[in-house]
Amino acid sequence: MKYLLLITVDPSITPEETPGDIDVWLDRVGDARLLGSALQPVATARTVRVRKNDRLITDGPFVETKEFVAGFDVVECDSLEEALDIAGAHPVAKFGAVEVREFWEG
Q: Residue 87: enclosing H or E segment and its boundaries?
A: helix 80-89
**Where do the domains of the chain lie?**
2-40+66-102
Read off the pLDDT of residues 44-84 as tens digits, 9 standing for 90 and up: 888 888 999 999 888 876 666 678 889 999 999 999 999 99
Region of residue 20 (left: phi > 0; alpha: psi -120 to 50; beta: else): left
Structure letter (DSSP) for residue 103: P
Q: What is the CATH number of domain 2-40+66-102?
A: 3.30.70.1060
Cβ–Cβ < 8 Å for 47, 60: yes
Give residue 36's pLDDT band: very low, low, confident or very high (50, 70, 90).
very high
